[in-house]
Amino acid sequence: MPPSNTDNCSTSHFRYPLFTSTYSIVLLFGLPLNFVSLWILVCRNGLRKSVSVIYMANLALSDLLFTLSLPFRIIYFATGEWKLGNALCMIPGTLFAVNIYSSSLFITLISVDRMLAVVYPLRSRQLRTVPIAWVLCVMVWLIIAGLAVPTALNHPENKDNACNVTRCFEKYSERNWYNGFIILCFTTFFGILVPFCIILGCTVSVVRQLKGYSMATSSCNTELSKSKIVKLFLSNLLIYAICFIPFHIAFILFGLSKHDYLHGDNSLEVYFNLHTVTMCMASTNSCLDPLIYYFSTKTIKGRTRCDSSSRTVGLGLVQSMSWNGQ
C-alpha cells in the first residue's frame, strides 16, 4: 500500500484500526469457510470427475493462502512496526495480489464453464474436460507466479528514518511506488477489466438462453436449477462490484493524484483514504467466494422426465449444476 505524505509517526490514522479489525474479521470467517470448502471439494467430491470442482478447489486454495497470511498484517497494523524480517514482509504483500488476480481468473473460468454448460451443453463437451481444466489452472498459476516475483521484490520492508521504525505494507520509496503503480495498471487491464467483460458477456448469454426456455422445460423440474445458475453469475458480479473494481479505481485515482495528473484541495489525502477503505473491501473477497461454492455445489437430485421436445434443454440445465456433468 502506498504511503500518504500527511502521515506522522503515530498509529492514530484510521487505517491502522480499520485494517486490524477488517483483517481480523476476514481471518475469523475466511479461514474456516475456505478450509471447509476446500475439504468438501477435494475429499468429498474429488478432482477427477468434475471441471467445476477443479476450478473451485483452486479458487479455495488461493483464498486459503491469503487468509493464512493475515496474522502478519494484523500484527503490523496493530503495532505500527515490523519486526519479523524482510521475507515475512514480502510474502503477505505478495499473497494479497496473488489472491486478487488468481481469484479473478478462476471466477472467469467458472463463469465460462457454466455458460458453455447452459448455452452449448452438447457442443462444449469436448472442451469441458478434466485434462483441459487442469491445463488452464496450471496456466493461471504460472501467470500468477510471473506476477508474484516483481510484486514481492517491490514490497520489501523499509526503514522509516523519520520515525526510527521499520515499516511493512506502507511507506515505500518513490521508486517502489512508481513500479507498483505500473504493475497495477497492467494487472488492472488484463487481470480485472478483461475478465469482468468476459463474465458479463457470459452472464448476458446465460440469461438470454434461460429466457428462451419454453414452458415445457418447467415441467422437467428445472426452474430451481435456473435460479441457481442466475445466482451463481450474480455472485460472480457481486464479488467484482464489491472487491475488485472499487479497489483498482481508487488505487489508480490515488496514483494519478500522486503524479499530479489530478488536482484539487487535499485530493491526495482523499484518494489515499478512499484507497484504504477499498483495500479493506478487496480483502473480503476470500469471505465472499464461498457464495460461488454454495451456488455451484447445489445439484439436481433425481432423474428429470422430459419429453423429446425439451430433452436437450433439460440436459443443459442438469449438466450446468451437476458435479458429474463434465
> Grid coordinates in use for 21?
479489525
The pLDDT value recorded for residue 224 is 52
What CA–CA distance (Å, rounded) separates 238 from 235? 5
What is the mean predicted confidence (pLDDT) over 243-256? 93
Is a pLDDT exceeding 60 seen at residue 161? yes
| φ and ψ at residue 166, rounded to 5 degrees | -95, 130
What CA–CA distance (Å, rounded) separates 109 from 48? 17
What is the mean predicted confidence (pLDDT) over 190-194? 95
Q: Which residues pair with 166 in a beta bridge?
A: 159
Q: For residue range 301-325, list pLDDT tens digits in order.
A: 333 334 333 344 444 554 454 444 4
| φ and ψ at residue 231, rounded to 5 degrees | -65, -35
Percent of the chain scoring above 70 in pLDDT: 83
Is a pLDDT exceeding 50 seen at residue 115? yes
Cβ distance 205 to 119 under 8 Å? yes
Of residues 44 and 2, more confidently modeled: 44
Q: For residue range 216-247, list pLDDT tens digits in order.
A: 444 444 555 777 788 888 889 999 999 999 99
For the chain, the domains span 15-321
Q: Give exposure, 263-279, as e/b (b: 16+ Cβ within 10 Å).
A: eeeebbeebbbbbbbbb
Is residue 298 very low, low, confident or very high in pLDDT (cuts 50, 70, 90)? low
DSSP string, 166-233: EESSS---HHHHHHHHHHHHHHIIIIIIHHHHHHHHHHHHHHHHHHT--HHHHTTT-HHHHHHHHHHH
| φ and ψ at residue 167, rounded to 5 degrees | -105, 155
What CA–CA distance (Å, rounded) separates 53 from 192? 23
Is residue 194 packed enough to be buried (19+ CB in 10 Å), middle (13-18) or exposed (0-12)?
middle
The pLDDT value recorded for residue 111 is 93
> Grid coordinates in use for 270?
482523499
The pLDDT value recorded for residue 143 is 95
Residue type, 34: N
* 3-state secondary structure at position 252: helix
Is a pLDDT exceeding 90 seen at residue 122? no
Average pLDDT taken over every residue of the chain:
83
The pLDDT value recorded for residue 230 is 84
pTM: 0.86
The pLDDT value recorded for residue 213 is 64
The pLDDT value recorded for residue 324 is 42
> Which residue, 208, 260, 286, is CA-closest to 33?
286
The pLDDT value recorded for residue 325 is 43
What CA–CA distance (Å, rounded) separates 82 from 21? 18
The pLDDT value recorded for residue 132 is 95
Cβ distance 14 to 21 under 8 Å? no
The pLDDT value recorded for residue 223 is 53
Q: Which residues pair with 158 in a beta bridge?
A: 167
- Report the CATH number of the 15-321 domain: 1.20.1070.10
Is residue 105 very low, low, confident or very high in pLDDT (cuts 50, 70, 90)? very high
